[in-house]
Amino acid sequence: MPRPYPHEHALFSLRPYNGNELARRIIDHPNNSHNVSLCDGIPALDVGFHLRRNSSSTLAELGRHQHADIYLDGAHFSRTQCSFEIVVDTGVIMLHDRSSGGTTQCHASDGDDAAPFQYGRAQRKVLVQKDFNTVIGMGGTWNDLLQFELEWHRTPAETAEAIRKYNAQGYDVVENPRLATTRPATPPGRSAPIRCLRVHKLGSGSFGTVHKAIDVDSGEAMAVKTIKRPTGEQQQAKWEKMLEREVEILRKTKHSHIVEYIWAQVQGTGVAIFMSLKEGNLQSLIERGDHKPGIIADSVLPQMLQALDCIASNRIVHRDVKPENILYVTDRNDQSGFRFQLGDFGFAKSIADPASVAGTYIFMPPELFQGGSNTTKLDVWSLFVTMMWTLDTQGFRQNQNYYQSQPATVVQGLVRLVASPGGELSRIQRMAMFDPDHRASAAEMLVDLFPGIPLSNPQHAVPHTPIAPVEAPNPAPYALTPPVTRSKTREMQRNAAAAQHHVE
């Protein structure tokens, strides 16, 4: 007797597609009677956490052997025809064709999207979810002898949450004497272009849009940056050079504090760059307000110095170091609880390339406003300003919009003030020298402040920057000081010698 409703732990049900007669017979088979429920009044087979005892990665295995979760009766099917598998990290379900002849395929019902199995991939696995790949067919010349429609009982977000809960605590299973264990599949190699389903937008800028996406052939979550091709011939040449440069930089800079590059490919009228997905960026982390900026800054500084040391050893200038481009993932081994990575190399270039001005205004160093060269010291200045922003030194973060509207000399005056002896960031003063020839490199700052951290090049190869005379404080004119921080600035200047800073 079928259950009147789908099982409470079912994610979806398999019901006959367009009245497929063989699907009806499979549902009515005695071996499947324990798992039949009524879905909108139609008998269907439930697929969910209630089926499996011994496999944490497989929801259901379909085949004609006696221990399959869903028994397929007939010589048209393989002993193990296919299986539905969980990807815990991303909270998605994959259909895995495990038949000997590749006789499983997926399609879309009316109005839905589909990405069928594609020839030439290492394994035949593909994403299934509500409104995507909603029909599966098996057996016969066109893989359509048996056809089921996936009737989903949860949205993709609800499915992901259910997977998270199941992974944490498990659920009771339906009694089934034919339970078996299925070995999880090995992730396939990258032998073909990535097919992805964009989930939602993470951000956008002048060079492209970034989305969270799911690889429909592996179930992996990733970030995809889509860069559209411009229309003008001259713009296209510049676009191609910029794109080639960004991809090349991402390919050759491998470091734990630089975002991981996965793949790049032509897509539609542009190019898609695939990178590992992060939880957020420094800007959103600080603005959320649930972590102490000082503790965060203590981790950001050494980790970003390592990233800058790595790209500098490859003679690369990032040119847009700022909180928005510093990404993070949870890392319980770090004092802050996070591992930070430098991302968005859209402005990056080799120091051998001709000089040009790029970056975000308030984070740009003085030499860029004076026609100076692009050197790796540029990024060190930007990291110093990023530390000011993180710690809200002298109300810099609070008044970011104000500083963005002022002449560059206003920000430079504030940098000079907080980096001077007795200033809140005097410990890292060498990062803020106005003359880049006197500004310390990332490697030098690591040697000075964090001697136990390994460098990208041997320490004996780190060039020594001569220590310049101390730059006297030269704050911006009083009239240009933001009203919110005028009294605070006077007070902090009077107590500069006793000021406590968080960057050690």
In a domain, 343, yes or no: yes
Range of the domain at 204: 196-275
Looking at the domain assignment, is residue 188 inside a domain? no
Q: In this model, does residue 87 exceed pLDDT 50?
A: yes
Separation CA 108–CA 117 (nearest Å): 12
Neighbouring CB atoms inside 10 A of 436's CB total 21
Query: Do 252 and 395 have their domain in common?
Result: no
Q: How far is CA 472 from CA 350, 419, 426, in A?
A: 33, 9, 12
pTM over 0.75: no
Tell whether 162 and 215 lie within a shared domain. no
Tell whether 120 and 259 lie within a shared domain. no
Q: Could you tell me if 81 and 215 lie in one domain?
A: no
146 and 14 belong to one structural domain: yes
The pLDDT of residue 245: 80
Q: Which residues contact 95 (CB under 8 A, 6 or more apart)?
A: 82, 83, 84, 104, 106, 125, 126, 127, 128, 133, 136
Cα 301 to Cα 326, 338, 461: the distances in Å are 11, 13, 22
What pLDDT, on a 0 to 100 scale, did the predictor assign at position 248? 83
CATH number for the domain spanning 27: value is 2.60.200.20
417 touches 423 (CB < 8 A): yes
- Based on the domain organization, do 355 and 266 belong to the same domain? no
In angstroms, rounded to a whole number, what is the distance separating the alpha carbons of residues 473 and 168? 56
CATH code of the domain in which 232 resides:
3.30.200.20
Q: What is the CATH number of the domain that holds 381?
A: 1.10.510.10
Give yes or no: residues 155 and 202 share one domain.
no
Residue 67 confidence class, pLDDT cut points 50, 70, 90:
confident
Whether the pLDDT of residue 496 is over 50: the answer is no
Q: What integer is the mean pLDDT of 117-136?
A: 90
**Residue 108 forms part of a structural domain:** yes
User: pLDDT of 423-475, one tens digit each?
Assistant: 999 999 999 999 999 999 999 999 999 998 999 887 777 877 776 655 555 54
> Is position 177 within any domain?
no
Here the tokens at position 358 are: 């790029």
- Say yes or no: 285 and 434 in one domain: yes
Residue bearing the bigger pLDDT, 494 or 16: 16
Do 224 and 253 lie in one domain? The reply is yes
Q: Are residues 79 and 153 in the same domain?
A: yes
| Those residues with Cβ within 8 angstroms of residue 340's Cβ, 6 or more apart along the chain or in another chain | 257, 282, 299, 300, 303, 304, 326, 327, 328
Domain boundary (275, 300, 335) is at 275
**What is the residue type of 90?**
T
- Indicate the residue type of 477: P
Does residue 202 form part of some domain?
Answer: yes
For the chain, what is the mean pLDDT? Answer: 84
Is 497 a residue whose pLDDT tops 60?
Answer: no
- Residues making up the annotated binding site are 225
User: Do 31 and 128 fall within a single domain?
Assistant: yes
Domain-embedded: residue 189: no
Q: Is residue 423 part of a domain?
A: yes
> Given a cut of 90, is residue 279 above it in pLDDT?
yes
pLDDT, tens only, 375-385: 999 999 999 99
Question: Domain count of the chain?
Answer: 3
Q: Identify the domain boundary among 108, 134, 169.
A: 169
Task: Name the least confident of 28-42, 142-156, 258-272.
Answer: 258-272
Q: Which residues are annotated as a binding site for ATP?
A: 225
* Domain finish residue from 275, 294, 329: 275
**Any idea what DSSP says for residue 351?**
T
C-alpha to C-alpha distance for 339 and 330, rounded to whole angstroms: 6
Does 251 reside within a domain? Answer: yes
Rounded Cα–Cα distance for residues 477 and 413 (Å): 9
Q: Of 46-60, 245-259, 475-489, give the lowest mean pLDDT range.
A: 475-489
> Model confidence over 154-180: pLDDT tens digits?
999 999 999 988 877 655 544 444 433
Q: Are residues 215 and 333 in the same domain?
A: no
Summarised one tens digit per residue, pLDDT across range 304-337 is 999 999 999 988 999 899 999 999 999 988 888 8
Residue pLDDT, tens place only, 225-268: 998 888 877 888 878 887 888 888 888 788 999 999 898 888 87
